[in-house]
Amino acid sequence: MTRFLHTADWQIGRQYGRFAPDDAIPLAEARFLTVERIAALARERGVDAVLVAGDVFDAQTVSERTLRRLFNALAAFAGPWVLIPGNHDAALAESVWTRARRFNCIPPNVHLIDRPGVQAFPDIGLAVLGAPLTQRHTHSDLTEPFDTLETPPGLLRVGLAHGSVQGLLAEEVDSANPIAPDRARRARLDYLALGDWHGLKQIDERTWYSGTPEPDRFKSNAPGHVLEVEITAPGALPIVTSHAVARFRWHEQAEMLSLPGDVDRLGEALAALGAQDVLSLTLSGRLDLAAHQRLQALLGEAAGRLRSLQLDAEALRLAPTEEDVEALRADGYLGEVLGELRRRQEGEDEVAREALTVLAALLRERQQEVNA
């Protein structure tokens, strides 16, 4: 029996440009911490090897310090790590991998398959058939040679590849780096470990994407896992178990708000999230002054509590009622300005929308001071 972990798409060195630095730095750091958790899991589970199906690094130009930190993060598991380059870290003539070798920072138990072929590990009953990317994109199926590659008798045949299984992924997936959907059957593989698709996905009984172990986008396709694969003997079906390892949880939510109760329900949803959550929140609708101010308070509290709150409220309108306007006592010139801003907001004037929000808040604060 042989057991190994299957993981991929670590994307070490990824930059989070859409986030503020206070959020971007912890999100990038989490990728190192997750690799450390994978190493600890491999040791705890007593697996024979860890297979990494490409995109260990997010770019060819990561710093020497990043290279060394990544390989140091593997230290908890002393068994073999088997890696292939993916499209982000392809094995070019000069690449992140040639630099890593030049810096002499790849440990002896890390086996990089940077050219197509077979790497045998007879002591653990495993032969890995590698299909590394030697350029960022190719339109030929690099796993096709698996069909004719010979492996030592008695060893498991496990494929390791990075690309897009044709016809079975979402339509928007790039067609570059294609992989035949029946490759495992054609090549008599006991298991085909894939990378490139960032979510956990089973293709058939012997073919899986592990997904990225640390989410990096707002997509509900089950990221944040590694797979433990157990195969009792050549030809036996693999037993696959997923393990959650992600540090942060990413959520995407859209809400239409029109009544005070809508704001209260959103507040309850926000209260269920905490410091390990990254939320992209899109708001639309129309709220009166009291509900709008309640919303602003809830969003402020959430922004301080969550790891990151990415807010899009461009389609949300402040619509003061006549009672709101009367309560603000915005008579005379202020009343005229308030009325003009309300009209312009209806015409999709973003500046007017922002100005209306600010003016209404100032008037309400003034009124509260007068009543205090």
Q: Is the pLDDT assigned to residue 113 strictly greater than 50?
A: yes
Number of domains in the chain: 2
Listing DSSP states for 175-210 in one string gives: -SSEE-TTHHHHTT-SEEEEESS-S-EEEETTEEE-
Instruction: Indicate whether 230 and 278 sit together in one domain.
Output: no
Query: Looking at the structure, do residues 68 and 191 belong to the same domain, yes or no?
Result: yes
Same domain flag for 284 and 229: no
Say if residue 178 is in the same domain as residue 64. Answer: yes
The verdict on 323 and 362 lying in the same domain is yes
Verify that 240 and 253 share a domain, yes or no: no
Indicate the pTM of the whole model: 0.86
* Of the residues 244, 272, 287, the one at which a domain ends: 244
Query: Is residue 232 located within the same domain as residue 254?
Result: no
- What pLDDT does residue 370 have? 43
Q: What is the pLDDT of residues 17-62, one digit of tens each?
A: 999 999 999 999 999 999 999 999 999 999 999 999 999 999 999 9
**Whether residues 152 and 184 fall in one domain:** yes
Asked if 99 contacts 114 with a C-beta cutoff of 8 angstroms, the reply is no
Q: Tokens in use for 334?
A: 């202020």
Q: Same domain, yes or no, for 43 and 192?
A: yes
Tell me the pLDDT of the chain averaged across its residues. Answer: 89
Position 361 scores a pLDDT of: 58
Strand order across the 126-131 sheet: 117-121, 126-131, 156-162, 191-195, 207-209, 201-204
Q: Are 276 and 183 found together in one domain? A: no
Of 108, 19, 3, 114, nearest to 57 by C-alpha is 114
Cβ partners under 8 Å of residue 146, min gap 6? 129, 131, 159, 183, 186, 187, 189
Give the pLDDT confidence of 82-93 residue by residue, as tens digits.
999 999 999 999
Distance separating alpha carbons of residues 305 and 16, to the nearest angstrom: 20
Q: Which residues form the domain of 324?
A: 249-371
* Separation CA 342–CA 334 (nearest Å): 12
Would you state the structure tokens that stand for residue 156, as one six-digit string?
Answer: 């498991």
Among residues 244, 268, 302, the one where a domain terminates is: 244
For 245-303, how does the pLDDT look when each residue is reduced to its tens digit (9 = 90+)? 999 999 999 999 998 899 999 999 999 999 999 999 999 998 887 888 899 999 999 99
Angle between helix 21-45 and helix 64-72 axes, rounded to 10 deg: 30
Query: Where are the alpha helices (H) located in the chain, listed in sequence order?
Result: 21-45, 64-72, 96-102, 183-186, 260-271, 289-305, 322-328, 332-346, 350-371
H or E, element range at 256: strand 249-257
DSSP 161: E
Q: Which residues pair with 286 in a beta bridge?
A: 317
Tokens 């040639």 found at: 98
pLDDT tens profile 193-251: 999 999 999 999 999 999 999 999 998 889 999 999 999 999 999 999 999 999 999 99
Please give the structure tokens belonging to residue 10: 């670590």
Write down the pLDDT at residue 64.
97
